Structure 1
């Protein structure tokens, strides 16, 4: 082999390995990944990189952007991305992190949710170079003999190594046999695709490692498992999740995304930069040093982050407009350009607490009264006073909670 070409290939291998292993939680095994990258470069053959998706909900949030960013890096190096929509496994339900058996989705529900993924993932990935699979296409073909063979690859003891199953077993919470099938079926997806690399959140490591074991059982080269950090939500405590109401949806309007990012606790900003921004490691190091030296305002750091993420999901113009909207509302006290409508069907004169709870701007009348006491309620930009009790509802009136929640009444 020509020395110059060999040296060029070596540089490509080192570059890919460095980029692809940055900001990951774990790689099983690193030596295998480097070997696979080397074989790919030398033979000019892309790696098969897999991401499995359980379509239990129709929308994705910025937490998914962590793994999507890594997939994009693989894609930019010329590797083949395989998205596996778990339409079959979704009817079982992933037991990961669950304290009880999950409700099984119908085939119609799974298919409806799955259809939204392609459009949403297309905001980050070049879907022209992505293969989308539905695992029912191979799992539905398994017969009883195949199923018995699959079940023979693991033991009950090994299944109980999972923290969620262990907790449920110790708490005498029922564990149903069909739940044991989920990691086996997800692992079989890797066999069906001959995947070289599989990505997932660090809470998915058990399921991903099952794929390695099954590939070995079926005399295939074992996939490398790469797990990604879980993005902490807006509360600064729990992982981002729709069920925990601490999420930022990637299809939300730019001004909403901007406002939510500005509410992230300062201590979480660098994690967001490292996990989902397009800033380089060197740029992030500079930002961190400036923050530690009080040479930059944390608010300005959040603005840069918000604009970067919106640019990824939309475009630069949307990012600039969202910043302007934020400044108009939060700095100048103006009303947003776009306000959701609420069709009012109640009485024309109601209590303030009824108005703000019926419109779901506040969860309870007690919360409404506390917000009123603190001066956080407005109607048509006029602050309501603690002594106010009732209000006359009119068409077009704008009600407001704090600086971020607005509704226009249609009556």
Structure 2
């Protein structure tokens, strides 16, 4: 059987980055910058007021206090957005709003709370220091400075900075487009009355959510029966729309394995991986598109995605932390594991105690337990038993 690490390398080689693209700011959030961003202008663009108040010559009110306020005529009213250039004459004040351009000659702003809020004349009751409550042009960003670096994730704050600099687009590493396809003649959609032998489709919904959580873009989530012709027709309907196709089901050793039958000519290599759950796997390329085939049991499918697809997907998009956080914990109960296979068991981690408890049976159809687990226990291939009190490695799913 292929080792987990060997199959991880195969999958990683198949999941590759798209060409970089320039996108509007609204579409850049969460993506990784593909190029440095230099500031085309300074921020602030001009000297402006940090407070609602009065622009003054600091020396004109150097003696002001509560006991001896200084009265000045208010020569101008400057709201934010006023565009004409003003000059503050000595011995006068301009009423000014936060963000409004500071008039030439002004050296300080007195907050309105330290005045009588007059509009014709104003009584000033403090002596501001030169530069107080003034935002100087370029004190945040100097034009020409590199303000965002290639490789960093575009956060809301980064978008705010880009917008403040007047940029309408950013060059990024685009999301990988993923088609998630579930197979099985027994599958029906929610809302359909179940007939004997039928079950509701869940894998495509589950894996599509996992793709989006990993940072990818889901093209569609079609379902196919176990008929090879129908399977091929569904795939052909999405030709050219996806960078990666993920299928689930149809890869085991029995009859009616539609994915194996459809790709059996060598386009996809089907293998057994020494792990539980998730032994039957497949990977390859068909019609120029990378294809990863996962088993059909729901726990096997999602664990396989976590082990093989998620880290490769995030790495190809340049996203940080492609791997789930790992830690060791003290096992709270005994467990057994099959010899020669790496086992991934569902668990619940107690951070306060530093312990982990296995959660639910190990079988690959027990989805309920995976839905409530917050970690996976990773048990090495050469370990068949572990006792409570031993150290075990966890993958943090929270």
Name the one with the larger helix percent: 1
Q: Which one has a bigger Cα radius of gyration?
A: 2
Q: Same fold (TM over 0.5)?
A: no
Using structure 1 for the length normalisation, give the TM-score: 0.26
Question: Going by fraction, where is strand more abundant, 1 or 2?
Answer: 2
Q: TM-score, normalised by structure 2?
A: 0.27
